[in-house]
A and B are shown apart, each in its own frame.
Chain A
């Protein structure tokens, strides 16, 4: 018999993706695939000097070129800026113009823009603009930017500090006074480029009605629409933002960017559609970059490994300008500093700094990887200094399952967890003791082999609300409208699984719609591992409301009591009389045909704005084994075991895919990726010729495992998982690398662990008299 509690089996099944038939056929529609009649193309002249005053701009030659419709400079659009709402008290918010006004402060800034009949002509004309600069001294490194006498990144400010924020908990002074040992460490997280393979881009069309239609490669169509309206001074309700297929984002496609506002402004002015697609080189220096936080920490300990207190000073490099989310990662770092450990006595200070570099912001993890790296390296270092087992030390300090909800020393509440469980599973899957024996044997042969572990938490589902609408159409088919739009996460599949399961229909009975502000109620977007927690949560609640209403309609139709109506395959049935069935089609016909119970509104659609007012804290444990070629420094990852707990799993195939992708980016960070700027602020690794990402041949084998600890505060029991790989894998690798180098007396090296860097460290250590192999 079918009851309300019988699952249909869709939740938890590895269903093939609904999205794929179109995408594998090359029939997806990304922004650059959109061609409109009369469309014009936008191109930019970007600065030659990252930090300079602009003396003069001569656009005459460009304006005179055939096929050029407009050439504009900062003076022409001086009323337009990127709007930034303060995230932190007393945050300085210097102007963020669309085109440089009087000065440029980083390599990605455009000095002028051209609209022309083709992309090539636009590029030709941009190249014909002459600019005279007076170079100013640059500051690149955030810690150096705090030194007295450092150049000012923004000369209109009196210092390079954007804000200082502090979180304190417990009694840090007493903790440190009572400490039997203090472990100190400085770690810099390398600046990363998100590098979605689809570069950023926009197509904008002014409609005859005065409305504006915008196709945008974005993670957050509604949020961007609001910001766009503010930036343009144009009514929000006349703007329609469509996120078509979006080719990856990883956080970087969250904000409203300068080029988007300018494209809209010029399209309105010229009354023609405009397209702008970033070249890869432009994308490198104009899209928000990730990490670049330097942590100086002190961990107060008892000799038995009990952690008494933690002090962290984070110097966060914000770049030269602020986007809406730039302060996000350092604030997240601050809220996660204690990791998965009971540390009540905390003092965390963030000093957020302007430099003459590309603005930073969320990139897969967005402050989580920095905090995990910091605490996990600290724990390993402390264990080593105290002569303790690093796993025992972790276990001693873990927040215990019965302590949840647990408020940490920085005042953040974790909802639920069982950290011992995921660590135990990682030990089992990796055959940890065997790895240690293998390491010791290799060490005996003079080889550099190391094993590392990280145990971490992963908050997900923040940033306010998400919306979901469930609508049963007249024919009984179900349309779901979600504010959480997809850029590769498989929403159309996972969400359909959830709704089909809840409503007892087949998946092809459900259509998931997203990414169009005209069709979808206000929403937020997809980032921070929030989709299933927030998007899934909101549509589940909406589905429950629809089910409640439908139950009453069904009861009305068969003249039964609503409490006797049970959900059955394809609709409802009377309890104990399964043949007395009412289908969704019949219920919908009644709902729209005036046959609803007395006093009930017609229609069958419910919308929920879901805000659980707490985040979902996933967690996990990763184990890495590495080998370093002593002769060349070349590192190899010999084993990588990833155990993540994201609560209930909707589609294991998709979850595993998220873990794989996160790990690939995390390994890139650990092994090779780093965005570098020269002393003047010029991009040294601003193309794929010199910024190295992982390729197919570089990826090690992964062993992916899981534990399942349902989230008690979510209607689906889920937690996020999208950032697990970037959070847990890099510190596991870092700890393994340092374990491999421990016999040489090497104590800490910052990521990325490139062969030349490791070789240099090995060589220096071997030259030290104390070193032994």
Chain B
């Protein structure tokens, strides 16, 4: 049928958390659903439909992006890191650890997106001020924590990654 050819599925290759994947996707497949439903990586969450909440944040070629606003086909040939790819051999990333240490999460739904944004923030700015952390989180909504402890969590991680002594 003509329509089927016109809307033909598209082959893509992506590397996710270091693992190469090849898939054939419908062009309208959003990256977040590709990750969640094709690769069973359900850490990236969907919290809105207008690119506001940031729960779906992942790293695409090293940058934090909202995977609900990217087509899977646009990620062809890309390197992706999701929250599931942060821990190394069962050891949590310092940002993940920071969220636990400083009670940076309650219901946990926004958390993977928050963590991915924070990881990117610390990669570009390893020692951010509180103001810079708050500004860096402008694309992520949390409804449980009031952000207070999220900011604390990221500061904790920054200190830990800087090799400084971190007090609990």
A–B proximity contact (CB within 8 A): yes
Chain A interface (Cβ within 8 Å of chain B)? 16-17, 19-21, 23-30, 32-33, 35, 120, 195-199, 245-248, 250, 277, 279-281, 487-490, 653-654, 656-657, 660-665, 687-689, 693-697, 699, 702, 725
Which residues 50-95 in B have Cβ within 8 Å of A in the complex? 50, 52-53, 55, 82-84, 86-87, 92
Identify A24's interface contact among B42, B105, B143, CB under 8 A: B105
Give the number of residues in B that approach A within 8 Å (Cβ atoms).
56
Q: What residue of chain A has the Cβ atom nearest to residue B101's Cβ? A: A16
Q: Using Cβ atoms and an 8 Å threshold, which residues of chain B touch A20?
A: 99-100, 105, 108
Q: Using Cβ atoms and an 8 Å threshold, which residues of chain B touch A24?
A: 83, 92, 96-97, 99-100, 105, 108, 111-112, 115
Q: What residue of chain A has the Cβ atom nearest to residue B30's Cβ? A: A120
Q: What residue of chain A has the Cβ atom nearest to residue B131's Cβ? A: A697
Question: Do residues A26 and B82 form an inter-chain contact, with CB atoms below 8 A?
Answer: yes
Q: Using Cβ atoms and an 8 Å threshold, which residues of chain A touch B108?
A: 19-20, 23-24, 28, 245, 247, 488
Q: Using Cβ atoms and an 8 Å threshold, which residues of chain B touch A654?
A: 103
Question: Do residues A16 and B100 form an inter-chain contact, with CB atoms below 8 A?
Answer: yes
Question: Do residues B45 and A664 form an inter-chain contact, with CB atoms below 8 A?
Answer: no
Identify A696's interface contact among B50, B143, B150, CB under 8 A: B150
Query: 28 interchain pairs (CB within 8 A)?
Result: A16-B100, A20-B105, A24-B83, A24-B97, A24-B100, A24-B112, A26-B82, A28-B109, A32-B36, A32-B46, A35-B37, A197-B53, A197-B141, A197-B143, A199-B47, A245-B107, A247-B47, A247-B108, A247-B110, A279-B49, A280-B47, A281-B49, A657-B149, A661-B144, A664-B146, A687-B50, A688-B50, A702-B146
B106 within 8 A of A: yes
Question: Do residues B135 and A697 form an inter-chain contact, with CB atoms below 8 A?
Answer: yes
- A-B interface, 9 closest residue pairs, ranked by CB to CB distance from nearest: A26-B43, A247-B109, A488-B107, A664-B146, A23-B108, A26-B83, A660-B146, A488-B106, A688-B52
Q: Using Cβ atoms and an 8 Å threshold, which residues of chain B touch A23?
A: 105, 108, 111
Distance to closest chain B CB from A476 (angstroms): 28
Please report the C-alpha to C-alpha distance between residue A8 and residue B67 in the assembled complex, in whole angstroms: 47
Q: Using Cβ atoms and an 8 Å threshold, which residues of chain A touch B40?
A: 35
Please report the C-alpha to C-alpha distance between residue A661 and residue B107 in the assembled complex, in whole angstroms: 11
Which residues 105-146 in B have Cβ within 8 Å of A in the complex? 105-112, 115, 133-135, 137-138, 140-146
Distance to closest chain A CB from B13 (angstroms): 23
Question: Do residues B84 and A248 form an inter-chain contact, with CB atoms below 8 A?
Answer: no
Question: Do residues B105 and A661 form an inter-chain contact, with CB atoms below 8 A?
Answer: no
Q: Using Cβ atoms and an 8 Å threshold, which residues of chain A touch B48?
A: 280, 687-688
Please report the C-alpha to C-alpha distance between residue A489 and residue B108 in the assembled complex, in whole angstroms: 10
Please report the C-alpha to C-alpha distance between residue A325 and residue B142 in the assembled complex, in whole angstroms: 26
Chain B interface (Cβ within 8 Å of chain A)? 26, 28, 36-37, 40-50, 52-53, 55, 82-84, 86-87, 92, 96-97, 99-101, 103, 105-112, 115, 133-135, 137-138, 140-151
Given contacts A23-B105, A661-B146, 9 further A-B contacts (CB under 8 A): A20-B99, A24-B115, A27-B43, A195-B143, A197-B142, A197-B143, A661-B143, A688-B50, A695-B141
Distance to closest chain B CB from A116 (angstroms): 14
Question: Do residues B109 and A248 form an inter-chain contact, with CB atoms below 8 A?
Answer: yes
Given known A-B contacts A654-B103, A695-B141, A26 and B44 have beta carbons under 8 A apart: yes
Identify A26's interface contact among B47, B49, B112, B151, CB under 8 A: B112
Question: Do residues A197 and B147 form an inter-chain contact, with CB atoms below 8 A?
Answer: no
Q: What residue of chain B has the Cβ atom nearest to residue A666's Cβ? A: B146
Distance to closest chain B CB from A125 (angstroms): 15
Question: Do residues A197 and B55 form an inter-chain contact, with CB atoms below 8 A?
Answer: yes
Given known A-B contacts A19-B108, A661-B145, A696-B134, A198 and B100 have beta carbons under 8 A apart: no
Q: Using Cβ atoms and an 8 Å threshold, which residues of chain A touch B53?
A: 197, 280, 688
Question: Do residues A198 and B109 form an inter-chain contact, with CB atoms below 8 A?
Answer: yes
Please report the C-alpha to C-alpha distance between residue A695 and residue B55 in the assembled complex, in whole angstroms: 13
